[in-house]
Amino acid sequence: MEREKVLDVKNLYAVFKIQKKEYEVLHDISFDVHRNETVCIVGESGCGKSVTTLCVMGLLPKNGRVISGSIEVDGTDLTKLSANEVRKFRGKKMGMIFQEPMTALNPLLTIGYQLRENLMLHRLVDKKTADKMAVEYLTKVGIANPESRLKQYPFQLSGGLRQRVLIAMVLSAQPDLLIADEPTTALDVTIQKQVLSLLNGLKKDMNAGIMFITHDLGVVAEIADKVVVLYAGRKVEEGSAQQVFNDPRHPYTVGLMKAVPNVDKDEFVIEPIPGMFPNITEEIPGCRFNPRCAYTKQCPLCTKEAPEMLEVEPGHFVACHLVKENAQ
């Protein structure tokens, strides 16, 4: 059965203007998220993960803009809408959870106010009903004594609790798409685990699609249905979680996997990827990964031509000359 698509990003290009010059930050990014599916976007800092979420939310900073491509949420192309029309989609159709729970809530407003505001806006209920629903959602995300929490201010809550409040807030609007930008990075490991299982449970409950941004492959292994690997603003590999984890094809993905410490092995070695992540102002001809790739010397095409996406098995795509050569 084909599940309904909640997000469909096609051939997205975005640029950032830095000192009057525009630099490409996203190059031909395509992926989709279905209902009840978690898609993890993986990559190093600066690879374009967060920019992708901001494009979808319509929250790009003033110096950034989408130049081409489409972003369809529930079948509507957001790139064709005015800023005000996109605003009406935000919160309602797509909700976002951010990385920093400590600072993501307004310090001067009560938890109750911040939840109520969202409910009154998106569920069109009055104040009293909103308060009742706020209690329900706080209970749903596993917060004890929800009534008393409503009167509290963010500074009275711990980081884990604040992240739960933020999740409750996003869910209370019943969005079809949940975007989570490294929601567990700032939390310690036990709380991280709790928040992940909470999200997993809620996904089934709400029948929403989740777009999950992270650089933590451990987290990916735990929650992902599908994985999209980005490198320097380009998609390098995409596939189901099993495909990418069991059979990573792109040298960059392979490198990422090797860089994760494995406590099961006898020798406890981390193999880092050599070199540095390129700055967006740097121009790299050919495959963007070629300066750091071990196979560049064997393959003259890598420094000349950007590789195309190749479907190596059903649903598993890789953009690498080497993989293409081996396949032929």
Residues that bind other proteins (CB under 8 A): 57, 59, 87-92, 95-96, 98, 100, 103-109, 117-118, 121-122, 153, 155, 166, 169, 173
Q: Contact 172/119 with Cβ under 8 angstroms?
A: yes
Q: Which is nearer to other proteins, 97 or 302 (by Cβ)?
A: 97
Q: Which is nearer to other proteins, 122 or 288 (by Cβ)?
A: 122
The rounded distance, in Å, linking the Cα atoms of 15 and 63 is 8
**Least distance to other proteins, CB of residue 122, Å:** 7
The rounded distance, in Å, linking the Cα atoms of 273 and 322 is 18
**Least distance to other proteins, CB of residue 76, Å:** 14
**Least distance to other proteins, CB of residue 104, Å:** 5
The rounded distance, in Å, linking the Cα atoms of 6 and 34 is 5
**Of 83, 93, 77, residue with least CA distance to 211:** 93
Q: Contact 71/78 with Cβ under 8 angstroms?
A: yes
Q: Which is nearer to other proteins, 33 or 111 (by Cβ)?
A: 111
**Least distance to other proteins, CB of residue 40, Å:** 20
Cα 36 → chain centroid = 15
Partners of residue 23 on adjacent β-strands: 16
Q: Which is nearer to other proteins, 11 or 106 (by Cβ)?
A: 106
Q: Which is nearer to other proteins, 109 or 284 (by Cβ)?
A: 109
Q: Strand 226-231 and strand 209-214: pairing?
A: unpaired
**Least distance to other proteins, CB of residue 277, Å:** 24
Q: C-alpha distances in angstroms, 206 versus 129, 135, 237, 279?
A: 20, 17, 29, 39
Q: Which is nearer to other proteins, 108 or 270 (by Cβ)?
A: 108
**Least distance to other proteins, CB of residue 120, Å:** 11
CA gyration radius for the chain?
21
